[in-house]
Structure 1
Amino acid sequence: MKRPRIYSRPDKPMQILVRRRERFDAPAVTEIAQPVVVDRATECHVTPGDVAARMVGYLGPQGDFLTLEPSAGTGQLVRALLASGHSRCELTMVERHRTLALALEKLGPCWNRCFLEYAEEARGRIEFPRIIMNPPFRDVRKHVAAALSLLGRGGHGEPATLVALVPCAFEHPEAETLEDLPDDTFAAAKVRTKIIRIQR
């Protein structure tokens, strides 16, 4: 007895007509921004936009300066840098909070780690002519010292400049106070703050 061929379809059409569906225009997708939720453990005090813009101004003229933001948080200082014309190609961000670091990737390269560890490994390997920071107030001295260990001209003629937002109690022999900020600058922190600049 002859077996039927399983791959042939006798008396059956090999093509069938498919009725085309009517095209319809899909509604435009509206991107809904996720709210940034910052827990207390981050010690993240978001820099107000106007303060961030002034801090960028204190850095000095723009140029091809490698720029470091050691505690990038929600990206306020970085946004102010980019808005003023600084290049994201020269930008390095460090943020230890994973969720915040992932969100910062939209603005530029971000290292998701503790800045103190980053500075320990980067010391002697890279110099940043520009550093702008709003460090954790509890460990402000450690963070500023770590940032200063990475501050250098990097072959530029302009002075290497660090601008930081710190508690008023913070003192450093090289620091000049540029502004004493209002008491209500940070609603969640009962700390009086100021903007300082260190140039080398």
Structure 2
Amino acid sequence: MAIAEPVTVDKFTECHVTPSDVAARMVGYLGPQGDYLTLEPSAGTGQLSKALLAAGHSKYELVQVERHIKLAGGALHGFGSVINRCFLEWAAEVAGKVEFPRIIMNPPFSDVRKHVAAAESLLGRGGHLEPAVLVALVPITFQHRSAETLETLPADTFATARVNTKIIRIEKP
């Protein structure tokens, strides 16, 4: 049996890996699975994508955006469509051209407002009757007029980042 090569990420990418149990809860907050086109911006190591697939979501309706070449080329392989780009640039290019009924994200904490705003610009029902849903892991200080705080995470969830975090949900009718 081959041992998987560890994924190493330069600290300047702000890739803080979402713990598996937190990722699973975030997927649950999205709502029922179905034929929903789902976006994972700044996908990192694919923890949220793995949780989506484990919960029964289809990899054929999963779009991941990741700018880090090694992550986009290897760590995310097999989890869905991978776009190797800066999420903020990509979102600006595709805004108004695509809608995602489901978005799940753990954005870079330093630019969290820009990333959530860019994701929200892509949030739409996409022909579904149910509201579109965005679930994000954000710093506890993050405020948004439409965000519902679902849970506050333990202080040591991202100990290396030294940032206290929470999970929020934004619904768009």
TM-score, scaled to structure 1: 0.84
Match of residue 85, structure 1, among 51, 56, 61? 56
Letter of the 2:161 partner, please give it. Answer: A
Cα RMSD for the two superposed structures: 0.7
More helix by share: 2
Q: Which residue of 2 aligns with 1:125?
A: 97
**Greater than 3 Å deviation, 4+ residue runs:** none
**SS of 1:149 mapped into structure 2:** helix
Write the mapping of 1:97-136 to structure 2, written as runs, cut at 5 A.
97-103=68-74, 104-136=76-108
Letter of the 2:54 partner, please give it. Answer: A
Summarize deviations over 1:122-155 as a string: whole Å, max 9, x none.
1011000000000000000000000000000001
CA distance in 1, matches of 2:62, 2:81: 7
- Kindly state the Cα deviation for residue 105 of structure 1 after the two structures are TM-superposed: 2.1
**SS of 2:109 mapped into structure 1:** coil
Summarize deviations over 1:142-173 as a string: whole Å, max 9, x none.
00000000000001001100000000110000
Write the mapping of 1:41-190 to structure 2, written as runs, cut at 5 A.
41-103=12-74, 104-190=76-162
Please state if 1:192 is matched with 2:164. Answer: yes
In structure 1, runs of 5+ residues without a counterpart are 1-29
Summarize deviations over 1:102-134 as a string: whole Å, max 9, x none.
121222210011000110111011000000000
- Kindly state the Cα deviation for residue 32 of structure 1 after the two structures are TM-superposed: 2.4
Q: Which residue of 2 aligns with 1:32?
A: 3
Task: After superposing the two structures, state which structure 1 stretch, 96-105 or 144-153, moved more.
Answer: 96-105
**SS of 1:165 mapped into structure 2:** strand
**Larger of the two Rg values belongs to structure:** 1
CA distance in 1, matches of 2:17, 2:159: 10
Conservation of the 8 A alpha-carbon contact between 2:150 and 2:169: yes
TM-score, scaled to structure 2: 0.97
In structure 2, runs of 5+ residues without a counterpart are none
Tell me: higher relative CO, structure 1 or 2? Use CA pairs within 8 A at least 6 residues apart: 2
More strand by share: 2
Letter of the 2:86 partner, please give it. Answer: C
